[in-house]
Amino acid sequence: MENRERKAKRNPMIVLTGPTAVGKTKLSIALAKAVGGEIISADSMQVYEYMDIGSAKITEAEMQGVPHHLIDVLKPWEEFNVVVFQQKCKEAINAIYERGHIPILTGGTGFYIQAVLKDIDFTENEESSYRKELEALAVEKGAEYLHHMLAEVDPPSAKAIHPNNIKRCIRALEFYHLTGERISDHNETEKQKESPYNFCYFVLNDDREKLYSRIEQRIDEMLDMGLVEEVRKLQELGCHRGMVSMQGLGYKEILAYLEGECSLEEAVYLLKRDTRHFAKRQLTWFRRESDVIWVDKEAFSYDDERILQFMLEKCKQSGMLGACL
């Protein structure tokens, strides 16, 4: 009882996440209207201007007047990572509280969500000269070489990080170099920290085959909306595969097509395949998280109103709504 009372006194926060294409956007709007909330995007691509179609960015009409944050706040050539996200997210959260509203963190980037909920400390991993050495190694010897380096010093991180994810491999290697501590151990310690928020962490999910079908349908719609032209315009602006923004799903595949590395058919095949794999990795991440409330759409017979009422009841049980509405 004491822990619950202590938690209820903290500032409220709602998290709505889940795999890509599961239907988070529509539900987040209904939730925000019901609780007097403002939405913060926990998405690694929607922060960028000019990247609308490939990131499935919410439109102004879809927002229905609900304030949204961390959308269109950076140019595609600007640096964005979990540290930048955490800083900008905290600024948005504080402003939302000042207005007497509830922040609703919505998106599918689990690591970003965890960084905010647990207030993970990244100060030990400031940029160093060693990072430049690793970046040069990546160019010279490739992503696989860096991944082997990581496996030697931090096997748990190497298992968790995809071999092609150069940015995260470099971050983990740099952390070990600077501190002598494995970043997997550091992150595990940080995860055990008590959250400064009274939060409800919802993961929206659906039958795998239905989810995969929606992913393929969404990609077909993106192509019809002009995804290829969007990437071509980014290319004309000077965007290239070395940029973090252009490594996102939908952008790297179409860029490879525009640069003559594959046909459009091959690019679309890879995009659909890799997006399905991405959704699977997202679900694996969420299953490892604690204090998660799973919301199975099929169990609610795909009734959005029933799902919303379930979520509101959980928020009331946490004590956040009675104090804030």
Averaged over 275-283, what is the pLDDT?
Answer: 96
**What is the per-residue pLDDT across 88-136, written as a single tens digit (0 to 9) for each?**
999 999 999 999 999 999 999 998 999 999 998 876 555 678 888 998 8
Given this model, what pLDDT does residue 68 score?
Answer: 98
For the chain, where do the domains classified as CATH 3.40.50.300 start and end? 2-120+193-324
Does 12 have pLDDT greater than 60? yes
pTM: 0.84
**What is the per-residue pLDDT across 58-81, written as a single tens digit (0 to 9) for each?**
999 999 999 999 999 999 999 898
Determine whether domain 124-188 maps to CATH 2.40.30.10.
no
In angstroms, rounded to a whole number, what is the distance separating the alpha carbons of residues 74 and 78?
6
Given this model, what pLDDT does residue 4 score?
Answer: 59
Given this model, what pLDDT does residue 242 score?
Answer: 84
CATH class label, 2-120+193-324: alpha beta
* Residue listed under structure tokens 């092609």: 164
For the chain, where do the domains classified as CATH 1.10.20.140 start and end? 124-188
**What is the per-residue pLDDT across 199-218, written as a single tens digit (0 to 9) for each?**
999 999 999 999 999 999 99
The number of beta carbons lying within 10 Å of the beta carbon of residue 240 is: 12
In angstroms, rounded to a whole number, what is the distance separating the alpha carbons of residues 269 and 17?
26
Given this model, what pLDDT does residue 324 score?
Answer: 45
Helix axes 251-258, 227-236, angle to 10 degrees: 70
